[in-house]
Chain A
Amino acid sequence: MEEKTRDDLLKLFQGRFNRAVRFYLETCTRCGVCVEACHVYVSMGQAKYISASRHELVRRLYKKYFKARGKLWPSLGEAKELNESSLTELYDAAYSCTGCRRCMAYCPFGIDTQMVMSIAKFILIGASMEPEILTMLADMSIEKGKSFELFKEGFLQGIRNLEAEVVKKWQTEAGAAAIPVGVQDADLLYVALAGAHSIVPAAAVFNAAKENWTLSFFEAVNFGAFMGDPTRTTLIMNRIVEEAKRLRVREVCICECGTAFRVMKQMAESLPFKVSSITEAHARYIRGGRVKLDRSKFTGLMTYHDPCQLARNGGVIDEPRYILGHLADNFVEMSPDPRMNWCCGGGGGLVALGEETLDFRMKSSRVKADQIRETGAATLVTACENCHTQLSNINDHYKLGVNVKFLSSMVADALVGD
C-alpha cells in the first residue's frame, strides 16, 4: 500500500475518534466474557467471529498508529500495519457483524462492537473496498432527497394505485384520502419503505385510528448507516427531518425498519418533533381505544422476534407484547430476556446485499433457527423489514415451517370497524 493511501485512511480513522471510541479502543481486557455473545461465533465456531476478535482488529491498527507503544514495542499488543491484508481482515469482521450489539450486554465495560465496526467500514469506504451496492443505494437515496421534485409525480402515481388497495380492504371516511401525502401541519408524518406492504396496512390503521397523518416522500431505510458512513447517514436522515420541519408535524413515525428507527431516534440531535416507531403508535391507538382488534383472527401459537435495533438498541420492548396481547391468546416468548434475544443474522446491511450474503447469513443464523424451533410456534411475528426477510430465508433454509408475519400487517388485518 502506498504511503499516501495509508495516511489518508489513517486520517479517516482519526476523524472517527470521540470519547466513546477512545474508551472502547483503550479498555478491552480480552477477558472472553463476550465469547458466547455473537450469533456468528456460536453458529459457526470460528474465533475470528468473537466480538472481541472483531474490535481487536481495529484496536491493533490503533495501537500501531495512535499509541507510542506501536512504535516502541509493537509486538506487545500485536500492533498491526495497515495494508491490503489488514483491510481484508477488516472487511471480514465488519461485514459479518450485524451490529446487533448483543455483545454489549455481555461486556463488563459495555464496549460497542457496532461502533468500532463502523470505523472499520469507514476505512473500507476510503479504500474503495465497501460493497458497491450499498454505496449505490445510499447515493440514490441522497440524490432523491436533492431532487425530489423529479421523483414526485411518479411517487404520487404509485400512491394513487395503492389507495385503491387500501379502500378495497378497509373502509375510509368519505372524501378523505386513503393515503394523504404532503399534508401541512399534520400531526404525524409516516415514513415507510418502498413497497405496498409497508404502506397499505399502515394507512389502514392510521385511518381507523382517525390519525391526522401524512405519508413521507422518502423511504425510511438508511443505507448510509449500513455502510458505516456518518455523512451519508446524516444526509439520508436529514431528507426526512427537513420534510418534517417543512410540514410542521409533531411526530415522525418510522415504519417497521429497525435501522431507520434507531438512526432517527438515537443519532439525530435535538429534533423539533417526537420520533416513534409504528409499533409504538399502534400500541398507543389500542391503549387509547382508537382502534379495536379482533383477537379471533389469528390462531395457533405465536412468538415474537425482537428486532435488535428496535428492542435492545431502541427500547421498544413492551409495546409489541402489548399489541400481541390483543391479537393472540397463545403467545410464547422467544427468549427469557428480550435484551438477550439472538439477532436474526440479517442486520448491518447483510440482507440489503441479498444473494451475495445468503450462504453466510444462513450458516451464521443456525442458533436463531434453533431458538425459533424451540418455541414450537406456528407464527413468527416481527416488526422489522430486515428481520422479516432474514427470518423468511431462515424459515426456508432450515425448513422451520413457521408463518413469518409483520406485526403491523397483523394489526391491520385484525381491525374491527366501528
Chain B
Amino acid sequence: METLYYLVLIPMAYIAFAVFVLGTAARLVKIFREPAATVKLQIFPEKRPKWLWAVYDTFLFPTVLRHKPLLWAFLMLFHISFMLLIIGHLELIRGFAVFQIVPHEVFLGKGFIGLILSICLLYFLFRRFSSPVRELSVPEDYYLLVLLFLTVFFGSEMDWARRWYYYDTISVDNYREYLFSLLTLKPELPYEITSSGHSFMLVLHIFFANLFLIFFPFSQAMHSFLSLPMNKIRRG
C-alpha cells in the first residue's frame, strides 16, 4: 500500500504535471503556428473596442446568459470557484501575502468552494443525461466530468473534515511540506500525509487530479486557453 501511495503522490504527480505543461504548450504551439484564416469571421453588429468585448465574452459568457440562464449561473459559479480553488492550492504550497488581502484561513472558502464545485459538476453531468444534450455528448464529456467530480469530491472531503468536523490530522503545514518538497524537486512524504486516517482521500484526490492533468491538453478543457482568441475572432 505504501508503495502505491508513493507512486501516486510522487512519480505520477511529476509525470502528470510534465504532461500537462509540455502537452499544453505543444498543442498551443501547434495550433497557433497555423496561419490565420484569410476570411473575416466576425459577426455583427460590431462593438468597439473589440478586444474588450472579446474579454467580456470570454469571462462573462453573455450568449449563455441570454439563451440558457440556469446553465449560465452554474457555469459562472463553477468557473469562479475553480479560480478560487487554484488560489487555494497555491496557498497549500506556501503563504502569499497578496491572497490575504481578504484575510482568510487556508484552505480558502470554508469548505464551500468544493461543495459548490461538486454540485455544479453533478449538474453538468446530469444535464447530459437528458435530451437533446445527450445526443450531442460523447464519452469524453462524461469521463471528464466524472474525473473532475471525483477529484473535487475527494479533495473537498479532506477540507470538510478539517473545517466542519475538526478532524485535522493532516494540517496545512503537512500539505505545504509535501507540495513544497515536490516543487523543489526534493520529494518527501511527511508521516501525517501517508499515515492519517484521511490519507486515502488525499491519495485518491491526487490520483484523479493526475489523470485530469494528463488528459487536459488533449481534451476540450483546452478551451481555457482558446476561448479568448476565439471570441476575438468573433468580435473581429
Contact = CB atoms under 8 A, between A and B. Distances in A.
Interface of A: 17-24, 26-33, 35-37, 47, 50, 52-53, 56, 67-69, 75-78, 101, 104-112, 115, 265-267, 269, 311-315, 317, 338-339
Contacts of B234: 104, 110, 112
B200 to A, nearest CB: 28
Contacts of A24: 230
B43 A30 contact: no
B161 to A, nearest CB: 32
Contacts, number: 147
B159 interface: no
A105 to B, nearest CB: 6
A29 B226 CA distance: 12
Interface stretch (B11-19, B94-102, B105-113, B136-144): B136-144
A364 B32 CA distance: 38
A26 B219 CA distance: 8
A78 B226 CA distance: 22
B2 interface: no
Interface string B22-57: 000001001110111111111111100000000001
A256 B183 CA distance: 64
Contacts of B27: 26
A315 B140 contact: no
B104 interface: no
B229 to A, nearest CB: 7
Interface stretch (B61-69, B85-93, B148-156, B170-178): B61-69
B103 interface: no
Nearest to B227: A109
A30 B227 contact: no
Interface of B: 27, 30-32, 34-46, 57, 61, 63-64, 67-68, 71, 127, 131-133, 135-141, 143, 218, 220, 222-223, 226-227, 229-231, 233-234
A118 to B, nearest CB: 9
Nearest to B233: A20
Contact of B44 (A22, A29, A314): A314
Contacts of A50: 132, 135-136
Contact of A313 (B36, B43, B218): B43
A68 B44 contact: no
Contacts of B32: 19
B30 to A, nearest CB: 8
B36 A18 contact: yes
A75 B139 contact: yes
A162 to B, nearest CB: 34
B143 A33 contact: no
A78 B220 contact: no
A315 B46 contact: yes
Closest 8 CB pairs of A and B: A110-B234, A47-B135, A315-B44, A32-B133, A266-B40, A20-B37, A30-B136, A19-B34
A28 B133 CA distance: 13
A338 B46 CA distance: 12
Contacts of B223: 27, 29, 109
Nearest to B215: A76
B138 A27 contact: no
Q: Which of B30, B43, B220, B233 has the most CB of A within 10 A?
A: B43
Contacts of B45: 315, 317, 338-339
Nearest to A34: B67
B43 A101 contact: yes
A122 B133 CA distance: 28
Given A31-B133, A110-B57, 6 more contacts: A19-B36, A28-B220, A101-B43, A104-B43, A108-B57, A266-B39
Contacts of B220: 26-30
Contacts of A26: 27, 31, 220, 222, 226
